[in-house]
Structure 1
Amino acid sequence: MTVEDIALTLIPGLGVKGCAHLLEQFGDARSIFAATADELAGRAELRADLAQRIVRREGMAAAEREIARCRRYGIRAVASTDPDYPPLLREIPDYPHVLYIKGAAEALANRCLAMVGTREATPYGQTVCNRLVEGLAQRIDDLTVVSGLAFGIDAAAHRAALAHGARTVAVLPNYLPDVVPAQHSDLARDILDRGGALVSELHSATRLNGTAYLARNRLIAGLSAGCLVVESPASGGSLVTAHHADGYFRPVMAVPGRTTDRASSGTNHLIRSHKAQLVLTAQDILDELGWEGRAEAAPADAQPRLTHDERRLLDCFRHGDPLSEEALQRLAGFDPGTLATLLVGLELAGCVRQLPGNRYIKP
């Protein structure tokens, strides 16, 4: 990592793809700044004004300040030409030349899975997210869950990773060390304390606007071997992330939901249009990504681990007949939101099966 690496990203008008093009032509940032205007204009077909900015070494003073700022806040800047730059990210055509990392950079060398979804997560989505991360963490030691620290599914994915001993990385739409949203500052601190990292491509001179969120989504996809959309309405940032992953030839997966649930309309469409592989279990994810994991060691007669409330709800299925949600609410005494969450848990554990008409039966 050199001052020229950061200075290259500070050249006005050059952009991410412009940096990548110059690096392809000259090999590294120092060689770019050592080139003449004629070499930049001829060999790289660079516009004359951009070539002059590089020849004048514009951005060097600002880059020195950025390096000092990184030291002050414990931020590590990694260039795409450095050996420890995330290898999967380097494969995408619009990779950022400099990545800013706070925390354990080695978390990005693990097996990374992007888990994204709606900010308005339902109890179903949160429960599924937790169960899938739990299953993966039990099978894989070097798992890293990558998400965007946003409200809803993003936060649920980070928290599930922390709860089950996996590392997690938050990709932010702002420059470090700030955290957006600010309400998740404690969650960001937990991520750092548990061996994870906060990541951004933005330097401190960046003017923040709404486009940073869309650009952030490509990094989530680019850092990961595959992208799992847990819940999404018909439009939203998680579908943008899935689109990027597909464009990078990374597997896209989605968790199905009820046809009547707005929060699952986007994921159901991904599955129906064959743009995403349907995922129900952690094993489905391992199979889709081609990851080898530890074999499940539970004996054949082992009972699923259920919470006290899940066992209480399961006890309502005494006679083998299907029961409606209304009947279960009356028998168990749970409010509708709690009941929906518990039913999801029992479905994922294979203890109940949903029938048409919002009825459930014990297999």
Structure 2
Amino acid sequence: MIKQPNNELLYKVGLGLIPKLGPNIYKKIIRNCGSAEAFFNMPRGKLERIQGVGPKLLAYRNQKAKYLSEAEALIDTAVQHKIQIHCFMEENYPTRLKSLPDGPPVLYSKGELTLNPKRTIGIVGTRKATDYGKNITQQIIEELSRFQPTIISGLAYGIDVEAHRAAISRELPTIGVLGSDLNTIYPSTHKKTAEQMMENGGLLSEYKLGTEMNPGNFPQRNRIIAGMSDALVVVEAAKKGGALITAEIAYSYNREVFAVPGNLQSKFSEGCNDLIRNMKAGIYMNSREIVDSLSWDMDATQSSTKQVLPDLSLLDPLEAKIMERIFDKKEVEVNWLSHDLKLPISTLAVKLLNLEFLGFIKAYPGKKYQWLQKN
């Protein structure tokens, strides 16, 4: 029996349970219908106008009671296991993933983690890390620790777990993105590390409890590591492997990518050296490369001064409202802003362009906007 049929979380989770419903069409449904609940209740004729909504998807929609019942059971189980559910376009969903076409529509997390931290660094590499790779990983985290970034990795053997452990030792938050559900720690030898991460960070997965572990899940989860990272550092990598997949994805997302150069005779440096040679990654020599590329020093200077909302008297009411939301959040993604203000993307784009022309905001890759502080 469905206890909360009007609960939007219930409908969003239920929508995500429909077979073969990819991230793109899920997000398109939410944006066009306004909510997951509206999708399940909207007249068929209106839904057919949404590109990608065909007879098969509409047939699944007719099984509304089935998917909502499964969603309710899933939510109840998550509560029992102290697991949080994060759905697309909700406040607690990672902002860094919202603009990505393949960002997971539903995520599950466990621990004391913040999914929208101010600064994030992804660190990945080979499962067969050398002493050189482990030492460099520790050095990277030690040098960046003064900026208190959240360290993102995959809890795998080698460089991944070394990054998590180095973060723990320096009391930095760290998030492990799993290729399994949150109750299945793989490899199991890393359970103790996973438990330690819960105190200042935690685990993140797109796989609901009870999902069978599949080798294909691990390359797929790499897009979350890439998307959650402001900058990704590949410490050691062979010519093929998960670390290179993550780097390629981060590059396609316009994230900053760095590779640690290595011995030309080491097979675990071939991948890093190739990334540098093909100009898909900057060469990592020390933390200054990351700090400069992400303007962290400048960011620290600006945050020490009081931020004051600029004079909005010259703006029309809608522009002023948009400006207030950007000022409040400091950085927003255009789809989130459209959903928050209930404005069509076309109308919003015109207003954002004018605000940028007037010098109130600045556009960044990933359809993100920040307000410009005027001295």
1:22 pairs with one of 29, 42, 64: 29
**C-alpha displacement of 1:88:** 0.5
Report how far residue 2 of structure 1 moved: 1.1
Q: 2-side partners of 1:242 and 1:155: how far apart?
A: 18
SS at match of 2:32: helix
Q: Distance in 2 between matches of 1:10 and 1:63?
A: 8
**Is residue 243 of structure 1 aligned with residue 248 of structure 2?**
yes
The answer for the alignment partner of 2:262 in structure 1 is 257
TM-score w.r.t. the length of structure 2 is 0.75
How far did 1:107 drift? Answer: 5.1
Q: 8 Å contact 1:130–1:157 — kept in the other structure?
A: yes
Preserved CA contact (<8 Å) 1:107 1:167: no
The alignment's C-alpha RMSD in Å is: 1.6
Indicate the SS of the match to 2:296.
coil
Deviations 1:147-166 (A, max 9, x none): 00000000010011111121
Structure 2 residue aligned with 1:111 = 119
Deviations, residues 8-49 of structure 1 (Å, cap 9, x unaligned): 110012122221221232232112222223222223441202
Asked whether the equivalents of residues 122 and 226 of structure 2 are also in contact (C-alpha less than 8 Å), the reply is yes
Unaligned runs of 5+ in 1: 296-363
The offset of 1:108, in angstroms, is 3.9
CA contact (8 A) 1:37 1:55 kept: no
Q: How many residues align?
A: 292
**1:196 correspondence with 2:204:** no
Partner residue in 2 for 1:93: 101
**1:201-212 equivalences in 2 (<5 Å):** 201-212=206-217
Question: In terms of Rg, which structure is larger?
Answer: 1
Give 2:163's match in structure 1, choosing from 157, 160, 183: 157
Q: Structure 1 residue 280 and structure 2 residue 285: aligned?
A: yes
User: Counterparts of 2:59 and 2:123 in 1: how far apart (Å)?
Assistant: 43
Structure 2 stretches lacking a partner, 5+ long: 1-7, 302-375
Match of 2:225 in 1: 220
What does 1:17-56 align with in structure 2 at a 5 Å threshold? Answer: 17-56=24-63
Alpha-carbon separation, structure 2, partners of 1:48 and 1:225:
40
Question: Which amino acid counterpart does residue 202 of structure 1 have in structure 2?
Answer: Y
What secondary structure, in the 3-state scheme, does the structure 1 residue paired with 2:156 have? coil
| 1:36/1:55 contact within 8 Å kept | no
2:129 to 92, 100, 121: 121
Instruction: State which of 1, 10, 20 in structure 1 corresponds to 2:17.
Output: 10
Q: CA deviation at 1:128?
A: 0.3
Q: What are the Cα deviations for residues 172-210 of structure 1, in whole angstroms up to 9, with x where unaligned?
A: 0011122111110000001012x1110001112533312
Which runs of structure 2 are paired with 1:315-334 in the superposition (5 Å)?
none
In structure 2, distance between residues paired with 1:184 and 1:108: 25
Match of 1:173 in 2: 179
Query: AA paired with 1:121?
Result: A
- Whether 1:81 aligns to 2:89 is yes
Secondary structure, counterpart of 1:262 in structure 2: coil
Q: Secondary structure at the match of 2:85?
A: strand
